[in-house]
Amino acid sequence: MYLNSSKKEELFSKYGKAKSAKDTGSAESQIALFTYRINQLTEHLKKNHNDFNTSRSLRILVGKRRRLLDYLTRIDIERYRSIIKELGIRK
């Protein structure tokens, strides 16, 4: 599988607010996880363009990430700007 526990811990420790592998609840760590999964699904869909279930899952993940990013803009715009810059996401 493309996403195992060691990869999750790496993402959480790199992008989490507390910079620890146990920081799974912060918005930054969740956005990083969603971004990683979105990138993987996008690569899959480039090869398998008729995979409609994966396409639906991708749209759901993009919506979840968008809601978390909107939450960060309302709460703390600097955190939003830093995570956008780190992950290379643009609105």
Determine how many CB atoms are found less than 10 A away from the CB of residue 80. Answer: 21
The DSSP output letter for 4 is: -
Q: Which residue in 18, 21, 68 sits closest to 89, CA to CA?
A: 68
Burial pattern 53-67, b for ≥16 Cβ within 10 A else e, equals ebeebbeebeeebee
pLDDT on residue 20: 67
Give the mean pLDDT of 16-44.
86
pLDDT of 55 reads 96
9 pLDDT band (50/70/90 cuts)? Answer: confident
pLDDT exceeds cutoff 60 at 1: no
- What is the reported pTM? 0.88
Let me know: does 44 contact 51? Beta carbons within 8 Å: yes
Model confidence at 72, in pLDDT bands (50, 70, 90)? very high
